[in-house]
């Protein structure tokens, strides 16, 4: 469901402008290959047919991953000077997208603005790292007979906490106490699960008065 648009690209060396197609909308949850290209910071990287210079065109890209609750408007790095203006533009585009895609797809989603691909690439790499740790955790949790509580992915990302938490099953379901007990069992098996160790420590210090919000959709 990703799509491209035709643009006139202008080489930074001042060569003759040329027409080309670039990605304007990428679904990170539907197209793993495009997501990888974006992480490698090579999405829409063009080569000038005249002088061979590699450059990014002045074309914005919208990146959407519903499962990860991530909606990003990526403007060219050179647009940063007029950040306020582009923030306003993003708000208007987001309203139009909500209408086009249907409200439900974008519920709870707070659009984020980026200038250039570097920062978004780092964010996705961090998501991948957390995802790997989560997989290890879920493997151990299954082994220990623990249940899993899915945290809202955007809440987890913004607050640097795990997006899936183990808990000791019981009639009360996932609670701060059952999650703390689950984490204790988990860390007893593998103490190197960084984000889980940090969250367990935060729980022990009473930094969380209630469970983080759960994921709106199942994974």
By CB under 5 A, residue 217 contacts Zn ion: no
Concatenated DSSP letters of 78-142: GGGGGHHHHHHHHHHHHHHHHHHH-GGGGTT---EEEESSHHHHHHHHHHHHHHHHHHHHHHHHH
Half-sphere CA count of 182, side-chain side, radius 13 A: 27
Distance CA 88, CA 93 (A): 9
**Single residue of 4, 42, 50, 54 touching Zn ion by CB under 5 A:** 50
CB closer to Zn ion, 15 vs 211? 15
CB closer to Zn ion, 51 vs 198? 51
By CB under 5 A, residue 78 contacts Zn ion: no
CB closer to Zn ion, 47 vs 96? 47
User: Parallel, antiparallel, or unpaired: how do β-strands 164-167 and 18-27 relate?
Assistant: unpaired
Least distance between Zn ion and beta carbon 56 (Å)? 13
User: Parallel, antiparallel, or unpaired: how do β-strands 70-75 and 61-65 relate?
Assistant: antiparallel
CB closer to Zn ion, 10 vs 176? 10
* Binding to Zn ion, residues 13-42 (CB under 5 A): 13, 15
Distance CA 186, CA 134 (A): 12
Least distance between Zn ion and beta carbon 180 (Å)? 59
H/E run at residue 61: strand 61-65
**Single residue of 40, 47, 51, 96 touching Zn ion by CB under 5 A:** 51
By CB under 5 A, residue 106 contacts Zn ion: no
By CB under 5 A, residue 176 contacts Zn ion: no
Residue ranges binding Zn ion (CB under 5 A): 11, 13, 15, 48, 50-51, 53
């Amino acid at each position: 469901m990703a799509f491209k648009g035709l643009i006139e690209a202008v080489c930074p060396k001042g060569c003759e402008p040329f027409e080309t197609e670039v990605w304007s909308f990428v679904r990170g949850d539907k197209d793993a290959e495009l997501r990888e290209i974006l992480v490698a910071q090579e999405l829409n990287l063009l080569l000038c047919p005249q002088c061979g210079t590699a450059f990014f065109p002045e074309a914005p890209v919208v990146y959407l991953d519903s499962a990860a609750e991530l909606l990003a408007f990526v403007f060219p790095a050179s647009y940063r000077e007029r950040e306020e203006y582009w923030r306003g533009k993003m708000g208007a585009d987001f309203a139009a997208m909500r209408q086009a895609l249907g409200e439900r797809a974008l519920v709870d989603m707070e659009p984020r603005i980026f200038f250039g691909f570097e920062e978004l690439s780092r964010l996705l790499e961090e998501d991948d790292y957390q995802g790997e740790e989560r997989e290890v955790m879920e493997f151990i949790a299954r082994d220990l007979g623990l249940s899993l509580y899915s945290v809202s992915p955007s809440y987890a990302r913004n607050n640097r906490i795990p997006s899936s938490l183990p808990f000791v099953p019981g009639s009360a379901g996932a609670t701060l106490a059952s999650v703390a007990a689950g984490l204790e069992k988990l860390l007893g098996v593998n103490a190197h699960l960084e984000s889980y160790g940090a969250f367990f420590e935060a729980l022990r210090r009473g930094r969380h008065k209630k469970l983080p919000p759960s994921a709106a959709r199942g994974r």
